[in-house]
Amino acid sequence: MLTEEQIRRYARQLIMPEIGGSGQSKLLDSSVLVIGAGGLGSAAIQYLAGAGVGRIGIVDGDEVDITNLQRQTIHAGNLGMNKAESAASFVRKLNEDVEVKAYPTKVDVENVREVIAGYDVVLDCTDNFPSRYLINDACVLESVPLVHSAVLRFIGEIMTIVPGSSCYRCVFPEAPPPGSVPSCQEAGIAGVTTGIFGVLQATEAIKLILRLEVLENRMLYADLLTMEFDVIDVRKDENCPVCSGRLKDLREVSYVETCRIE
Amino acid sequence: MVRVVYPLIMTTATRKKEEEIEFEGDLSSLIDLLCERYPQLKKVLYNKDGFNRFINIYVNNEDVRNLDGFETRLKVGDTVKFIPAIAGG
């Protein structure tokens, strides 16, 4: 049962048919893990907390730097603080309904399955290929729904991976060798791009919790300069080493360079 | 005419984000034509084992792996987009 204060706090979404009282209860009973509290993560976390996702985990081993604040607005006033702690402090200020846990660390082969296993949804908001392949593979192995997004300059992509659907490796079987695709640090990133795609990730997480239609077996690509938004059907690759079930243990994979699985 | 849209990693060679090309044939002949027109493109698109697996090609928003791959026939009005994996966050 919602309290009187909760009825007021969530009033604008409680009157919507897609959410209502039962949807709000689902949100309050749910948990989302956000890996990376950078550009994507800082946008996603704010709206997950606002919507009343009951438990939010935030993973980030980095500290807030002045070059982050052009897009990572959640960290206002927190220069030098660990990003997971900084984002968690924002969540506590915004909404006491949310139980927030900061993991001031990086995910790796040893800890990733354990960290994600207790959550209903994972958002991949990281900024490098090895982490992205690691998180995809771990979420498929643990059967935890994953919302992937990645950005560069004014472009971005997002897809949602659920148990049984195609996975990130079905779209991109392997990562570009280092140096062949520039990073945001090398080529730049518009703050608005991370804002839009981070909020899209939060949207997908909320819809997963509410059991609404998500970007399953589909990838959305957008170029914000031309405002071309393309939704592309992604077919499950029957030979995908991960979602076909062949991979059993992350330790079989070397998460460096192309992250290829032979 | 076929509309070809290039990602950032290809624009260093093409010097443009997109163009309309008078063309008839399949995808692999289009790629050959592009590599001829922009010689630097070859090392962006290929490695020693073949076409880079981190670059997807979509014809009218359909992954060519679900069409006829490099033999996908292109017709007037088609849009071909090259999209590489990106990792920024």
Return the structure tokens found at A70: 């052009």
Q: Is residue B67 part of a domain?
A: yes
Mutation target vs A (from B43, B62, B63, B86; most A CBs, 10 A cutoff): B86
Q: Is residue B49 part of a domain?
A: yes
Please indicate whether, in this complex, the C-beta atoms of A234 and B63 are within 8 angstroms of each other: yes
Return the structure tokens found at A99: 């139980």
A65 pLDDT more than 90: yes
Report the percentage of chain A scoring pLDDT > 90. Answer: 95
pLDDT tens, position by position, A137-156: 999 999 999 999 999 999 99
Return the structure tokens found at A225: 């300069």
A229 pLDDT more than 90: yes
Which residues in A have their CB inside 8 Å of a CB on B? 36, 38-41, 124-129, 132, 149-153, 155, 157, 171-177, 180-184, 187, 189, 194, 221, 230-235, 258
Does the CB of B76 have a partner CB in chain A at under 8 Å?
no
pLDDT tens, position by position, B22-60: 999 999 999 999 999 999 999 999 999 999 999 999 999
Please indicate whether, in this complex, the C-beta atoms of B8 and A125 are within 8 angstroms of each other: no
Chain B residues touching residue A125 (CB < 8 angstroms): 89
Does the CB of B85 have a partner CB in chain A at under 8 Å?
yes
Tell me the β-bridge partners of A159.
A148, A219
ipTM of predicted complex: 0.94
- Total structural domains in chain B? 1
How far from each other are the two terminal CA atoms of chain A, in whole angstroms?
51
Please indicate whether, in this complex, the C-beta atoms of A183 and B52 are within 8 angstroms of each other: no
Report the percentage of chain A scoring pLDDT > 70. Answer: 100
The rounded distance, in Å, linking the Cα atoms of A244 and A17 is 37
Calculate mean pLDDT across residues B58-63: 97
**Nearest CB neighbour to A235, from listed B9, B66, B88:** B66
The whole-number pLDDT of residue A137 equals 98
Return the structure tokens found at A50: 């606002």
What's the domain range around B50?
A: 2-84
Which residues are CB-neighbours of A245 under 8 A, at least 6 positions away?
none
Q: Is residue B8 part of a domain?
A: yes
pLDDT tens, position by position, B64-88: 999 999 999 999 999 999 999 999 9
Q: Which of A26, A66, A71, A70 is nearest to A46 (CA)?
A: A71
The whole-number pLDDT of residue B8 equals 95
What's the domain range around A42?
A: 4-252
**Nearest CB neighbour to B89, from listed A150, A182, A230:** A150
CATH number for the domain that contains residue B70: 3.10.20.30
Q: Is residue B80 part of a domain?
A: yes
The rounded distance, in Å, linking the Cα atoms of A156 and A222 is 5
Confidence of residue A129 (pLDDT cuts 50, 70, 90): very high
Q: How far is CA A40 from the centre of its chain?
A: 7
Does the CB of B9 have a partner CB in chain A at under 8 Å?
yes
Return the structure tokens found at A152: 């560069």
Q: Is residue A262 part of a domain?
A: no
Cα separation values, A105 from A65, A81, A84, A87, A192, Å: 16, 13, 8, 14, 26
pLDDT tens, position by position, A152-181: 999 999 999 999 999 999 999 999 998 889
A16 pLDDT more than 90: yes
Does the CB of B50 have a partner CB in chain A at under 8 Å?
no
Mutation target vs B (from A132, A194, A232; most B CBs, 10 A cutoff): A232
- Total structural domains in chain A? 1
The whole-number pLDDT of residue A262 equals 84
Calculate mean pLDDT across residues A245-260: 94
Q: Is residue A258 part of a domain?
A: no
The whole-number pLDDT of residue A179 equals 87
Calculate mean pLDDT across residues A225-253: 95
Q: Is residue A260 part of a domain?
A: no
Q: Is residue B18 part of a domain?
A: yes
DSSP structure class, residue A177: P
The pTM score is 0.97
> For residue A93, how many C-alpha atoms fall within 13 Å in the half-sphere facing its CB?
11
Catalytic residues of A: 184
CATH number for the domain that contains residue A241: 3.40.50.720
Calculate mean pLDDT across residues A205-219: 98
DSSP structure class, residue A130: H
How far from each other are the two terminal CA atoms of chain B, in whole angstroms?
36
Please indicate whether, in this complex, the C-beta atoms of B89 and A194 are within 8 angstroms of each other: yes
Please indicate whether, in this complex, the C-beta atoms of A183 and B8 are within 8 angstroms of each other: no
Which residues are CB-neighbours of A115 under 8 A, at least 6 positions away?
A33, A57, A59, A103, A107
pLDDT tens, position by position, A31-63: 999 999 999 999 999 999 999 999 999 999 999
pLDDT tens, position by position, A75-126: 999 999 999 999 999 999 999 999 999 999 999 999 999 999 999 999 999 9
Q: Is residue B89 part of a domain?
A: no
Q: Chain A residue closest to B62 (CA)?
A: A232
